[in-house]
Amino acid sequence: MNDRYVIMRDEQDTGAGRELYLDHILWEPDCGVRAGGNIRHDGENLLVHLWAKEKEIRAEYTAPLSPVHEDSCLEFFFMPDGEDRYLNFEINPNGCLHIGLGRNRNERERIVPDNPKELFSIRTLRTAEGWETQYRIPAAFLRKYYPDFVFSGILKANVYKCGDKTVHPH
CATH code (residue 53): 2.60.40.1190
Cα distance between residue 67 and residue 106, in whole Å: 15
Structural domain containing residue 138: 18-162
Number of domains the chain is built from? 1
Q: Tell me, yes or no, whether 134 lies in a domain.
A: yes
Between 53 and 11, where is the model more confident? 53
Q: Tell me, yes or no, whether 115 lies in a domain.
A: yes
Q: Tell me, yes or no, whether 6 lies in a domain.
A: no
Q: Tell me, yes or no, whether 109 lies in a domain.
A: yes
19-50 pLDDT tens trace = 765 665 666 666 678 888 888 899 999 999 99
Q: Tell me, yes or no, whether 1 lies in a domain.
A: no
Q: Tell me, yes or no, whether 10 lies in a domain.
A: no
Q: Tell me, yes or no, whether 35 lies in a domain.
A: yes
Residues facing residue 13 across a β-bridge? none
111-154 pLDDT tens trace = 999 999 999 999 999 999 999 999 999 999 999 999 999 988 78
92-106 pLDDT tens trace = 999 999 999 999 888
Q: Is the pTM of this model over 0.75?
A: yes
Q: Tell me, yes or no, whether 170 lies in a domain.
A: no
